[in-house]
Amino acid sequence: MFATFETGDLTTYPQRLETLLDKQRHAIDRLARQASPTYASLMKPLQDLDEERALFFTPLEHLHSVADAPDVRTAYEACLPLLSAFDSWLYRHRALYDQIASLHSDDPEAARVLNDTVRDFRLAGVDLDAEARERLTQIDRQLSEQSNAFETHLLDATQAHEWILDRPEDVAGMPLADREAARIETPEGIRYRFSLQMPSYTAYMTYGPNRALRRELYQAYTTRAPENGTVIDRLLALREEKARLLGFDHYAHYALQTRDAETVETVESFLEQLLTSARPQAEREMARLKAYALETDGIETLAPWDVAYYSERLKKELYAYDAALTRPYFPLERVVSGLFAWLTEWFGIAFEPIEVPVWHPSVRVWQLTEADRIVGRIYLDLETRPTKHGGAWMHNWESRFVDQAGRTHAPSAFVVANFAAATPTVPSLLRHDDVVTLFHEMGHAIHHLFSRTHERAVSGIHGVAWDAVEFPSQFLEHFAYEATILKRFGFHYQTGEPIPETLLETLHRARNFQAALGILRQVELALFDLQLHQKSYRGDAVHALLERIRERTALLPPPEWNRFEHGFSHIFAGGYAAGYYSYKWAEVFSADAFHASHDPHRGFEADRARTYREHILSRGASSPMRTLYQNWLGHAPRLESLMRLYAIGVSDA
C-alpha cells in the first residue's frame, strides 16, 4: 500500500532516474498521439506518471536535506539537471498541450486540474518559438543548479564554525537542558560546544551571558557563505530573463500568476497596511527593551546580538515567564503522543506507531487509520543532527488519489525539525516555541494526509496557491497556546507533575510580547523579496535595497557587515521567490479562522473542527483556497482578525 523508504545504490541513482525518465518520455509521447483523447485516457495516466517520479526521487531529495553526505550530495546534484530537463521537455511538449487544451470535464476536480495544467504549460513557455523554449530549458536547469549551490554553501558554512568554551562563567545561568546539549568531555575536563546550527545558536544568543561571545556568534552567523552573493546575482538574472521571455515585466509579476494575491499592487498595499498598523507599537516595544538593558546592565547602545538576550530577560520580568521553565514539561515523545491524541479526538483519525525502514534511528513512523482502514502514514524526524539542514518543514511523499485503474492511493509525509537532541541523561525537551513549530508542521501534514480528493494534481498540498498553503499550518499552531490543549501533554519529565496553571496563564499572557517588532521584521523581508524581483538588482545594489527598506522597518539597524541575504534560503533556495509575503497573507486566513473556531473550554469548537476537515483539509486544491474558505465560514478572511490576534493597537503587550 505504501512505498518502502529506500534509495538503493547511490552511485547508480542518476542512471536509474534517467532510465525512468526515458521510459516516461516514451509513454507521454504515446499519450500525446491519441486520436480522440478523454480526461480518463490522458490526464489520469499523466498524473500516475507524476506519482511514479515522486515515489522514486523524493527519498533522495529528502536524504539530501536530513542526512547530507558526499555520496548523497553527488547523486542528488547529478539528478537535478535530469529532472530539470524532463520538466522543461514535458511542459513545452506542444502536441501534449494541444491534447490537454482540447479537453473538457463536468467534474469539478477534473475541471480544476485541466485549468491549472493549461495555465502551467503557458507559464512554462509552450507558446514560444523553438529558440525561446530552448533558452528557457537552459534557464530552468541553471536555476535548479544555482539554488542547490546556495543551500550547499550555506550548510557548509554553518557546519564550519564551532566554539569550545572552558570557562563556567560563559554558560552561567543558561538553562540546564541547553548546557547539557552543549556539554562535552575532553582530556582537559568538561567543556561546552556551541555552533551556528539550531538550536545551539539560538540557545547562546538567548541565554549566553558573554556579550562579546554573542557578538562573535552573531557576526559569524550573519556573514556566512559570502560566495552566495555571486549565486544571488545569477539567480536574479536568470529569473528576470525567464520572466521577460514569458512576456512579463518582471519576475514578481510572473510569480503572482499562480497566487491568491494576484497582483504586486495588492501585496504591496497589504504589506504597507501591516507596517503602518504595527510600527507605533513596535517603537514602544523597542524603547522598552533599550530602557531595560540600560537599567539592568548599563547597556547604553543596544546591539542586535543583545536583542534576544535582553528580550528573554525582559519577558521574564514582565510576565514572570522563563522559556526554560516550560522545557521540563514538554518532553518530545509526550508532546507528540498528546498532539496525536488531540487530532484523533477532533478529526476522527487515529495514529498508530509502526516499524518500517527509515533513514535514521531517531525517526519514528505512524500509520493513520479511520474506521479500521489505513488512510495514511507519517514519518517524524525531529531531533537536530550535524548533517541535517536547519529549520523545520513538512515534505509530502505519496499522495491520496484514484489512479487510472481505479485504485485508491494513500498519502504519506515527512515532518522534520531540529529540536534539541536527547542526551544520555536528558530526553529531548521542547521549548514552547518548539511546540508551536511542531503544531505548525503538523498543520501542513494533516492538510496533505487528510485529503480525500480523487485527482492527484489537486490532492493535499498539490496545486494550493503558495500564499495560501501556510493557512492550515498557522491555523493549527494557534492552538498550541491553549491551556486546555497543553495540559494534555504538559507533564514534568522527571516527576510526572502537570504543568502549573500559573505557567500556562503566563504563556498565554506573554504570547504577544514584541509582536509588533515581529511583524515589522516579516514586512521587511517580504518587501525586500518583492522589490528585489521587480528590477535588475545586482551586486551591492541587492544589499543597498535591503538597507533602504530597513530605514522604515528596522528599529535597531544591523551593522554594515551584516549580510543576511546570503542566508535567505527561503527566496534563493526554498521556493519563496517573490512570495515571502505569503506567511503574513496566509496568517490573515488563519487568524480569522481561529477567532471563528476557538472554544475557550475545549480549544477547538467541535462543529468547526468537523467542518474544517470537510471544507478545507479534505478538499486540497480542488477549488481556490479563498473559495473553500468562503464555503466554510461564509465570509472572506479579514485583516482586522490578524490585528486582533496580535493585539495591535490594543495594548503594548
The answer to whether 54 and 397 have CB atoms below 8 angstroms apart is yes
What are the cell numbers at 309?
538576550
CB-neighbour burial class of residue 624 (10 A; exposed 0-12, middle 13-18, buried 19+) = middle
**In Å, what is the CA distance from 132 to each residue of 92, 238, 333, 355, 376?**
11, 14, 53, 50, 43
The position carrying cell 479562522 is: 593
DSSP for 553-594, written as a single string: H-SSPPPTT--GGGG-HHHHTSS-TTTTTHHHHHHHHHHHHH
**CA atoms 538, 540, 545, 549: torsion sign:** positive
Residue 501: what residue type? Answer: E
The answer to whether 79 and 17 have CB atoms below 8 angstroms apart is yes
Residue from 109, 240, 285, 441 carrying the catalytic annotation: 441
Give the H or E element holding residue 610: helix 606-615
Q: In what order do the strands lie in the sheet containing 162-165?
A: 162-165, 189-195, 183-186
In the DSSP assignment, the letter for residue 351 is E
The answer to whether 394 and 413 have CB atoms below 8 angstroms apart is yes
The SS3 of residue 195 is strand
Rg, the chain, Cα only: 25
Strands 162-165 and 598-599, bridge-based pairing:
unpaired
In this structure, how many other beta carbons lie within 10 angstroms of the beta carbon of residue 425? Answer: 7
CA dihedral 51, 54, 56, 59 (to 10 degrees): -140
The SS3 of residue 73 is helix
Distance separating alpha carbons of residues 178 and 428, to the nearest angstrom: 11
Residues contacting residue 272 through CB under 8 Å, at least 6 positions apart: none
- The candidate with the shortest Cα–Cα distance to 109, out of 622, 559, 624, is 622
In the DSSP assignment, the letter for residue 429 is B
Q: Which string of b and e fits 559-572 if b means at least 16 CB within 10 Å? A: eeebbbbbbbbbbb
The answer to whether 255 and 170 have CB atoms below 8 angstroms apart is no
The answer to whether 440 and 477 have CB atoms below 8 angstroms apart is yes
Residue 509: what residue type? Answer: R
The SS3 of residue 383 is strand
The position carrying cell 511542531 is: 438
The SS3 of residue 194 is strand
Active site residue 169: no
In this structure, how many other beta carbons lie within 10 angstroms of the beta carbon of residue 185? Answer: 8
Which residues of 285-390 form beta strands (DSSP E)?
350-354, 364-370, 373-383
- Cite the active site residues: 441
